[in-house]
Amino acid sequence: MTSGAAQSLVDRLYAAFNDPGILGLGGTDEDAVMQALSEAKAKNLMHEVDALYNSRYAEKELNLKDELDDELSGEDFDKAMRLYNDGMAAPQEATASGRKVAVHGTMAPRASVDVRTFFDNIIIDWENSEHKLNGDQERTDISKESWENAVWDVLDFLYNKSPFETARAILDAIKNSGKKLTIFVEEFAFVNPNSHAFPTDPATATRNGGTPEGETPGTGGGAGGGSDSVIRFTPQDWEVESSSASIKARDETLLHELFHAMRQMRGLEDEVTITAPFDTMNRGEGTDTELIVNGSSLNGEAPEKENPHREHYGTQEEFFSVVLTNIHRSEKGRAGVKRDHVGDTMLVPPMSNAANFASTWKPQLHYLCEDMPDVCRRVAGALGNFNPIFELYRLEGRYPAGAARNAPTAS
Ligand SMILES: [Zn+2]
**Domains of the chain, with CATH numbers?**
4-89 (1.10.220.10), 114-243 (no CATH), 272-411 (no CATH)
CA 260 / ligand 1 centre spacing (Å): 7
Q: Which residue from 385, 383, 380, 297 is spatially nearest to 336, judged by alpha carbons? A: 385
Q: What is the pLDDT of residue 77?
A: 86
Query: How high is the pLDDT of residue 93?
Result: 54
Summarize the confidence of residues 209-232 as an average pLDDT. Answer: 95
Q: Give pLDDT, residue 152.
A: 98
What is the whole-number distance in angstroms between the Cα of residue 380 and the centre of ligand 1?
A: 21
Measuring CA to CA, which residue among 97, 101, 76, 71 is closest to residue 88?
A: 101
Confidence band, pLDDT 50/70/90 cuts, at residue 242 = very high
The model's pLDDT over 20-54, given as tens digits with 9 standing for 90+, comes to: 776 666 788 889 999 999 999 988 898 889 988 88
Q: How far is the CA of 410 from the centre of ligand 1 (A)?
A: 29
User: What are the φ/ψ torsions at residue 360 (nearest 5 degrees)?
Assistant: -70, -40
> Which amino acid belongs to residue 44?
N
Instruction: Fill in the DSSP letter of residue 73.
Output: -
The pLDDT score that the predictor gives to residue 104 is 35
Q: 351, 346, 341, 357: which is closest to 391 by C-alpha? A: 357
CA of 267 to the centre of ligand 1 (A): 16
Question: Rounded distance, CA 375 to CA 377, Å?
Answer: 6
pLDDT at 193: 64
Q: How far apart, in Å, are the Cα atoms of 294 and each of 167, 237, 252, 314, 404?
A: 34, 25, 26, 15, 46
CA of 318 to the centre of ligand 1 (A): 5
For the stretch 9-28, pLDDT in tens is 999 999 998 887 766 667 88
pLDDT confidence tier of residue 297, bands split at 50, 70 and 90: very low
Distance of alpha carbon 317 from alpha carbon 217, whole angstroms: 12
Instruction: Identify the three-state secondary structure at position 349.
Output: coil
Strand pairing category for 196-199 and 122-124: unpaired
107 CA to centre of ligand 1 in angstroms: 30
Ligand 1 center–CA 326 separation, angstroms: 13
94-119: pLDDT as tens digits: 433 333 333 333 444 578 999 999 99
Could you tell me which of 389, 382, 392, 313 has the C-alpha nearest to residue 167?
382
pLDDT at position 404 is: 45
Q: Ligand 1 centroid to 234 CA: how many Å?
A: 15
- Chain-wide mean pLDDT for the chain? 84
Greater confidence (219 vs 294) lies with 219
Question: For 147-159, how does the pLDDT look when each residue is reduced to its tens digit (9 = 90+)?
Answer: 999 999 999 999 9
Convert the pLDDT of each residue in 363-387 to its tens digit.
999 999 999 999 999 999 999 999 9
Cα(25) to ligand 1 centroid in Å equals 44
pLDDT in tens, 132-191: 655 556 788 899 999 999 999 999 999 999 999 999 999 999 999 999 999 999 876 554
CA-based nearest residue to 220, from 265, 275, 261, 272: 272
For the segment 388-410, what is each residue's pLDDT rounded down to a tens digit?
Answer: 999 999 999 886 444 444 434 44
Ligand 1 centre and the CA of 257: distance in Å? 6
CA of 139 to the centre of ligand 1 (A): 23
- CB atoms closer than 10 angstroms to residue 371: 15
Residue 235 has pLDDT above 90, yes or no: yes
Ligand 1 centroid from CA 197, angstroms: 8
Q: 261 CA to middle of ligand 1, Å? A: 10
Max CA-CA distance within the chain?
A: 74
Distance 195 CA to ligand 1 centre (A): 8
Q: What is the DSSP letter of 225?
A: S
Q: Ligand 1 centroid to 341 CA: how many Å?
A: 7
How crowded is residue 44: how many other Cβ atoms within 10 Å of its Cβ?
13
Please list, in sequence order, all residues whose beta carbon lies within 8 angstroms of the beta carbon of residue 245, skipping any fewer than 6 positions away: 239, 251, 252, 332, 334
Tell me, in angstroms, the distance from the centre of ligand 1 to residue 159's CA: 20
Measured in angstroms, how far is the CA atom of residue 116 from the centroid of ligand 1? 25
d(CA 269, ligand 1 centre) in Å: 12
CA of 285 to the centre of ligand 1 (A): 18
Distance in Å, CA 65 to ligand 1 centroid: 31
Q: How high is the pLDDT of residue 122? A: 98
Confidence band (pLDDT; 50, 70, 90) for 341?
Answer: confident
CA of 304 to the centre of ligand 1 (A): 26
Tell me the chain's radius of gyration from C-alpha atoms. Answer: 23
Q: Does the structure show a pLDDT above 90 at 63?
A: no
Q: Choose among 260, 239, 223: nearest CA to 157.
A: 239
Q: How far is the CA of 256 from the centre of ligand 1 (A)?
A: 6
Quick one: which of 114, 376, 157 has its CA closest to 245?
157
**CA of 196 relative to ligand 1 center, distance in Å:** 7
Query: Is the pLDDT reported for residue 236 higher than 60?
Result: yes
